[in-house]
Amino acid sequence: MTDRISAAAFRKEQAQGKNKFGAQKVTVQGIKFDSKREANRWSELRTLERAGQISNLKLQVPIMLEGRDGPMMTRKGRQMRLTVDFSYIDSKTGLTIFEDAKGMPTRDYEVRKAAAAAQGVKVVEV
């Protein structure tokens, strides 16, 4: 059974910067991350980059979503996108890897991930 809170309590927590899934924001090397998991993975990837195993490491990479008939649009008329936490090039294979540090995937994330997969973009969850 999940714990329930009132809408007022939820808004108060949001104003205080608390995440509804319990993730704690962290700053590492002057970069703000949404969770400790994301910050730890960034540190691991930076180590791999320095070792030459990966290259072209990027943060918060948008993937624009395309459907069969062109760009997928939101109700407000903007093109939909999936923003992944990291992208990099694997030095062994030369492939671009997209990663997302997820603790609790949301329904919206799952739909966008599936749309990206239909475009041939695989997102690895860490």
pLDDT digits (tens, 9 = 90+) for 76-115: 999 999 999 999 999 999 999 999 998 888 899 999 999 9
Region for 64 from its dihedrals, namely left if φ exceeds 0, alpha if ψ lies in -120 to 50, beta otherwise = beta
Tokens 């860490």 label which residue?
126
Q: Answer whether 0.85 is exceeded by the pTM.
A: no
Q: What does the alpha-carbon distance between residue 103 and residue 85 come to, in Å, rounded to a whole number? A: 13
